[in-house]
Amino acid sequence: MKEIRRTGYATTVEEMSLGACSVAVPIYSREQVVAALGVVVPTLKRDRGRLTAALRVAAAGISRQLGTATAR
């Protein structure tokens, strides 16, 4: 949990099914995490940074719509 708070995202590697990896970022409302936005892909080796950046942009937009923007 500390690592997730430090980095601002969570990842999984084949925890739910073989060959599936995921990355997710929080969505905020009134300074509290209310949901997460994530993707499942075959591998995170090359694309983790790109996927995380895209998810953060999308999550920030959703958070703004909910009334709380986050700078993470």
Q: Give pLDDT, residue 68.
A: 59
What pLDDT sits at residue 57?
A: 97
User: Structural domains in the chain?
Assistant: 2-66 (3.30.450.40)
The pTM score is: 0.83
| Burial of 54: CB neighbours in 10 Å, binned 0-12, 13-18, 19+ | middle
Please report where in the chains the tokens 């708070």 appear, as a residue. 5
Contact by Cβ (8 Å): 35, 42: no
CA distances from 15 to 18, 22, 40, 61, 72 (A): 8, 9, 11, 29, 26
Mean pLDDT per 10-residue section of the chain, whose length is 72 residues: 89 90 93 93 90 96 81 52
